[in-house]
Structure 1
Amino acid sequence: MSLNLAALGKQVRVMSQTVAREARQRDQRLDEVRQRYLAGVGQEDTWHTAVELSSPSFNWLLADPVEALDTVGDLPPIPNDYAIVATDGSHLDVDRHGEVDCYLINIGQVYIRYGTNPEARLESLPRLFFTEDELFLTDDTRRIPIEGAVLSIRRDVEEGLALARLAADYLTDPNLPRVALQDGTLIRWALANADAKVRDHFLQQYLAYLDQMQKLAIPVASYISRSRSPEVMGLVRLMLCPDVNVKAQRGANCTQCSDAKQGLTPSCMVCQDLIDADLFAPRLREGQRSPIFRSLSRISVERYEHHQIHFFFLRVGRELARVELPGWVASQPAWVNQVHALVYDQAARGLGYPIALQRAHEQAVIRSAERRVFEQMVSGAIQRAEAPAGVSAKRESKQFVQG
């Protein structure tokens, strides 16, 4: 046996002892953080002002409290009759070693109605992009290829546009509880640091999708499983900061930290590596939600206008899921309750993950065998059309080895 198990066993024991010690220390820090958070109950307006004062110079992500910090929202009654639409997407990137430049986006679409008139529609919507305008974003001096991270952005936007079309087609009864659900975040984080041309092009389309959902009066939400977000923890960091003085209109400025200037460990470092879910885990029972917060992510605050993203945490089994809402949904208590109830019911039906999103993913995923068939379709079509094409030497060498 080449693996020295005796030597490895000693290292494993040291690792387990270290993990146990760090877990105890983490629990102690969590107790301190939770106590400080709850000490802010009744001072939400103060901390809202502190967030506004600090956001331009704070080094951490921040959440703005919208409800009382000790809010625990019980699960609203789940209606017997309701409808849901959901989308998810996948893509095949441009293959620079292939016969022709193109990419494929496949959107899984799901409509499910429960209750007295149950029905369901599940389908995939593949779309092939191959024209010059589809392969590049252009301005006066540049051609920006739509591939890699930019293609991922386009796929996210296409998921939203498909969801709006699906909602317009199927969620037509305003008297029926309904929700349009996406997987993952509604905050287009990738656009925050993207090229201005890329950001403006895709964000305009994405916000138009949210505008359409608002006009349809259909609440839209997203579901993030096992969220690692630290935004509410950023608010606790602010609460621990000795430099914040709302009366003096002074927020936190991490570059001028008074603790650091005195050679001390900054007070906020007790929050290091802690996440929002840690804060709410002991407070929420099955089906309950946390307070609603507004995300202070730069792209949302600066670009989303009335769509600024809000969120709450929802207890589903052993985990806390993050549920995101546009501002116009979060401002309507009836819609918040509707999203709360329907999203929880979907997660319960899906054994911890919304069943509509599971079905959308199943429709969206492109399997290896399907990818090979797609490549053969492209190759055959190019040959029949007698179009100029050819694989790279790298591709040919791989095909030779495989053959």
Structure 2
Amino acid sequence: MLDLTKLAGKMPAISQHLNQEAKASQIRLTRALELFQRVEGAQADWLRRQEQWRDRLLFATATPLEPLSTAQLIPPPPPRHTVFATDGSQIAPSHHEIAYCYLVNIGRVMLHYGQSLHPLLDNSPEVYYKAEDLYVSRQWGIRTEEWMGHRRTVAEAERLAEMACRWVNPPGAHHDPNLAMVDGSLIYWFLEAMPSEAREQLLPPLLAAWDTLYQARIPLMGYLSSSRSGEATNLLRLAACPFDTQDCVKQCSQESDRLPCQVIDPIRDTTLWTTLLEPGQRSTLWRSSAKILDQYPEHLQIYFCYVHVGAEVARVEVPRWVADDRALFDQALGMMLAQVHKGYGYPVALAESHNMAVVRGGDRARFFALLEQQMLRAGLKNVGTSYKEARKRGSIA
């Protein structure tokens, strides 16, 4: 049990630290705005430098595809449209439970607007208990719990494509504009450091699901609330470099602390664009330079922009084929913004897919109770939790 009396004594120090950090952040923001104006005034020149020294930089910088000062108003959504979304949750495996297995639950949502159609809100659970499910990742040094999360990501994409394409594809059927949304980034950075054998288990089926959406012309969008990315503001670090050339490998590879260009770190992209955008506007469109995107096909390369949705500035990611069709891109942004407004600050379709997927404490207990019944019916003996787990559940405190 948490002792709130003892904890209260630590609050003043935390408040003082946060106050100091807020003042330092304001100084970094002022410096970032100065660098922004400098790069904006000679954007073509700085983009040439970025391209020239890209392979020598020690940090990832996205490439702007429009003027940095872009602040485009997002159009309203079509009166009739459909939004699809998926999200996932899980029960992690535990040696203290009655059986070593894990569960992945995918929530699915399909919301129709202006069409007098019933929504779809359901979930799709799957239990993994075979040896190839539980232990295959250990050969690559990946924990089962971590592998479970990666498998869940793939399942979310597959269920999303299956649901959306099943609705859109019937022959002879006419469908209004639609949008497929996922919570989080479409850039799977975690795959970069993963052994190629493990990556081949995850990336191809995920990209295949996205390609199915592409074939059906269903725009895909990743929505990131409270994004911590600095991929766009990293471009400003080129202007902050004190050297004549931006050759990080030569000039700064021996730096053990902070690089000279890190005068605005740790400032997030969203912090900067909060000062540059008005509610309902989007920033310039950027092409990500994440190394994992080398494994993506050309039409699925990830582009992103920042959108002031009212309550915050969110990062929005789309595949290249969506960004290349500006009418489709603007339409998708309009549907996304309408979702945020309907959800009082967060897309309602994503919130509902999370609610359909989440596994609460009572669900966990019922899952293992059901599993115990089946094990007893199968004739298994001595079915039960470990003494440690049983004692924790029956604490006298």
Contact 1:316 1:344 in 2 (8 A): yes
Which of residues 272, 276, 279 in structure 2 aligns to 1:283?
Answer: 276
Task: Select which of 162, 165, 169 maps to 2:162.
Answer: 165
* Shift in CA distance, 229/78, structure 1 to aligned 2, threshold 3 Å: same
Give the Cα separation in 1 of the matches to 2:318 and 2:244. 29
Task: Go from structure 1 to structure 2 and tell me whether the alpha carbon gap of 1:3 and 1:198 turns closer, same or farther (over 3 Å shift).
Answer: same
Shift of 1:99: 3.0
Q: Which residue of 1 aligns with 2:110?
A: 111
| Alignment partners' CA distance in 1, 2:195 and 2:216 | 32
Distance 2:131 2:111 in 1: 37
Aligned mates of 2:278, 2:395 — CA distance in 1: 54
Deviations 1:267-320 (A, max 9, x none): 422211111012111221111111111111221234454312111111112310
2:40 is matched with 41
1:131-169 per-position Cα deviation (integer Å, ceiling 9, x unaligned): 233334379xx4877721111111011100100001112
Q: Indicate the residue corresponding to 2:101 in structure 1.
A: 102
Report what 1:124 is aligned to: 123
Question: Given the superposition, is the C-alpha separation of residues 163 and 217 from structure 1 closer, same or farther in structure 2, using an over 3 Å criterion?
Answer: same
Count residues in correspondence.
391
Matched-pair contact (CA < 8 Å) for 2:31–2:264: no
| Deviation by residue 1:210-264 (Cα, 9 ceiling, x = unmatched) | 111111111000111111111111111122224465xxxxx43155239x99xx9
Q: 1:325 aligns with which of 318, 323, 333?
A: 318
Task: Find the partner of 2:247 among 219, 233, 252.
Answer: 252
**Partner deviation per Cα, 1:179-208 (whole Å, 9 max, x = no partner):** 000001111122121232221210111111
2-side partners of 1:369 and 1:17: how far apart?
Answer: 40
**CA offsets, 1:109-143, max 9 Å, x none?**
0001101434311001111122233334379xx48
- Distance in 2 (CA, whole Å) between partners of 1:396 and 1:308 is 46
1:154 aligned onto 2:147: no
Note if contact 1:63-1:235 (Cα within 8 Å) is conserved in structure 2: yes
1:248 is matched with: none
Post-superposition Cα deviations, 1:329-354, rounded to whole Å, max 9, x if no partner, equal 12211121012101000000000000
Q: CA 1:54/1:113 → structure 2, altered by over 3 Å: closer, same or farther? A: same
Kept in 2: contact 1:74–1:289 (CA 8 A): yes
| TM-score, length basis structure 2 | 0.88
Q: How far off its partner does 1:397 sit?
A: 4.7
Identity %: 31
CA distance in 2, matches of 1:237, 1:38: 13
- State the alpha-carbon separation in 2 of the partners of residues 207 and 395 from structure 1: 42
- In structure 1, the residue matched to 2:377 is 384
SS in 2 for 1:119: coil
2-structure distance, mates of 1:145, 1:99: 24
Stretch of structure 1 that moved more, 97-106 or 160-169: 97-106
Q: Secondary structure at the match of 1:94?
A: coil
Partner of 1:223: 223
Partner Cα distance (1:390, 1:310) in 2: 51
Cα offset for 1:66?
A: 1.5
Question: What SS is found at the alignment partner of 2:261?
Answer: helix
Which segments of 5 or more consecutive residues in structure 1 lack a partner in the other structure? 246-250
Partner amino acid for 1:237?
R
Asked if the contact 1:59/1:254 (under 8 Å) is kept, the reply is yes
User: Structure 1-normalised TM-score?
Assistant: 0.86
CA change 1:23–1:144 in 2 (3 A) is: closer
Question: 1:190 is matched by which residue type in structure 2?
Answer: F
1:244–1:212: structure 2 CA closer, same or farther, 3 Å change rule? Answer: farther
Q: 2:262 aligns with which of 248, 264, 269?
A: 269
Amino acid paired to 2:371:
V
Change (3 A) 1:57 1:389: farther
| Aligned AA (2:189) | W
DSSP-derived class of the 1:78 partner: coil
Distance verdict in 2 for CA 1:143–1:74, change over 3 Å = closer
What is the alpha-carbon distance in structure 2 between the residues aligned to residue 278 and residue 230 of structure 1? 10
